[in-house]
Amino acid sequence: MRRPLVAGNWKMHGSGAEAGRLIGELIAINAGGGPAEVVVCPPFVYLAEAGQRLRGNALLLGAQDVCAEEIGAHTGEVSASMLADVGCRFVIVGHSERRALYGEDDALVARKFVAVQRQGLVPILCVGESLEERERGATHEIVSRQLTAVLGMAGVAGFGAAVVAYEPVWAIGTGRTATPAQAQEVHSLIRGRIAEKDATIAASLRVLYGGSVKASNAAELFAKPDVDGGLIGGASLKADEFGRICAAVRK
């Protein structure tokens, strides 16, 4: 059985005061206390304080990005060991905004994936096609290519301690969600690609859907057999909305 997982990606929103308030509200509604494993990913500078407040809490902490290098002269970067140090358990790697706006390619994403695992943290590997790629029928090709890069560097064993998030780029922050059938189709492709290498790992791999998930559409997405939860952007910034998404997972 795969335990559902719901992760909130706060992106570059809020302030220290707002982050503190949101963490407090999520603790108050016991966001991590239900059937789903629940993770919040605040901006880097708020992680340490969030980590202190969440110590011993069922709500888990994640980061939005990481440096692929372990240590050294990398001005402005944050290493996986630093993230572990402040209490992170998960790290998002390869988010489409990193790929599109900050030039991250498949090889760099794969190195980040490995760097995260080396510190005993769980990467949430984001994959997904752009609108143009979907319209020319390249969705499977793109998602397979993104997975292959990580398989090549981490091996299939890496997926035994990882989470994959399918995030069609055209659905992120647009209010245009993939239909449950569209999500299921790609989720099943992702699981199938891993199953070609190792059926047991594929069966236990959690594949999240991300892209305009809201409390009003979460249940129908999460009801699909290969959708094991969600990676939530905008709707993770309001505790009640995020709490309702967490409650929408399959029991």
Q: Reduce the DSSP state of residue 164 to 3 states and report it.
A: strand
Alpha-helical regions (H) of 76-165: 80-85, 96-101, 106-118, 131-135, 139-154
> For residues 227 and 220, is the Cβ–Cβ distance under 8 A?
no
Smallest separation, CB 210 to ligand PGA (Å): 4
> For residues 165 and 208, is the Cβ–Cβ distance under 8 A?
yes
Give the active site residue among 37, 95, 97, 129: 95
CB nearer to ligand PGA: give 182 or 212. 212
Q: Shortest Cβ contact with ligand PGA: which residue?
A: 233
CB nearer to ligand PGA: give 201 or 231. 231
CB nearer to ligand PGA: give 96 or 156. 96
Active site residue 18: no
Smallest separation, CB 163 to ligand PGA (Å): 13
> How would DSSP label each residue in 130-142?
-HHHHHTT-HHHH
Smallest separation, CB 219 to ligand PGA (Å): 16
Smallest separation, CB 233 to ligand PGA (Å): 2
CB nearer to ligand PGA: give 9 or 139. 9
Angle between helices 239-247 and 16-28 (to 10 degrees): 40
Tokens describing residue 183: 């999500």
Smallest separation, CB 72 to ligand PGA (Å): 30
CB nearer to ligand PGA: give 123 or 234. 234
- Contacts with ligand PGA by CB under 6 A lie at 9, 167, 172-173, 210-213, 231-235
Give the active site residue among 97, 104, 129, 167: 167
Active site residue 167: yes
Whose tokens are 């992702």? That residue is 190
Closest of 188, 212, 109, 99 to residue 151, by C-alpha? 109
> For residues 207 and 127, is the Cβ–Cβ distance under 8 A?
no
Smallest separation, CB 47 to ligand PGA (Å): 17
> For residues 235 and 214, is the Cβ–Cβ distance under 8 A?
yes
> For residues 165 and 171, is the Cβ–Cβ distance under 8 A?
no
> For residues 174 and 130, is the Cβ–Cβ distance under 8 A?
no
CB nearer to ligand PGA: give 123 or 210. 210
Cβ-proximal residues to 101 (8 Å cutoff; 6+ apart), any chain = none
Active site residues: 95, 167
